[in-house]
Amino acid sequence: MTNDRTYAQYDIEKKSLLVAYVLWLFLGYVGAHRFYLGKPLSGLMMLSFSGVVLLLSFVSFGVLGFLWALVALWWIIDALLIPGMAASRNRGIADRVLGRR
C-alpha cells in the first residue's frame, strides 16, 4: 500500500524534462543530460568521443569537420530521445519507490 510519504519520495527523485533539456542545450556535447537521466555508460561514451574530437582538433584538421558533424548529429538526435529517457527513468524510480518490482 502506498502513502503520502512514498509519493513524496517519488516527487523528490523524479527527473525533470526542463533540467534535462537545459543540460542538453549547454552541456549535451559531453553527455551531461545522459548522466542526469541515469544513462552513465552512454554519457561516458559521449564525453569520451567529444574529448577525442577536441584532441584531434588540435592535431589534425582533416577529419575534424566529419567528427564534429557526428557529435552534432548525436546531440540533435538526443533532443528527440530525452522525453523517452526521462519517462523510463521516472518509471524505474516509481517502481522502486512504490515497490512495484
The DSSP result for 2-35, as a single string, is: --HHHHHHHHHHPPPHHHHHHHHHHHGGGTHHHH
> Structurally, how many domains does the chain consist of?
1
Is 80 a domain residue? yes
pLDDT computed for residue 53 by the predictor: 80
pLDDT mean over 10-35: 95
Is 7 a domain residue? no
pLDDT mean over 59-81: 83
pLDDT above 70 (res 58): no
**Domain that includes residue 42, residue range:** 12-96
Is 2 a domain residue? no
Please tell me the distance from the alpha carbon of residue 25 to that of residue 23, in angstroms, as a whole number: 5
Q: For residue 98, what is its C-alpha cell?
A: 512504490
For cell 548525436, what's the residue?
74
Please report, to the nearest 10 degrees, the dihedral formed by the alpha carbons of residues 47, 51, 53, 54 taken in order: 130
Is 68 a domain residue? yes
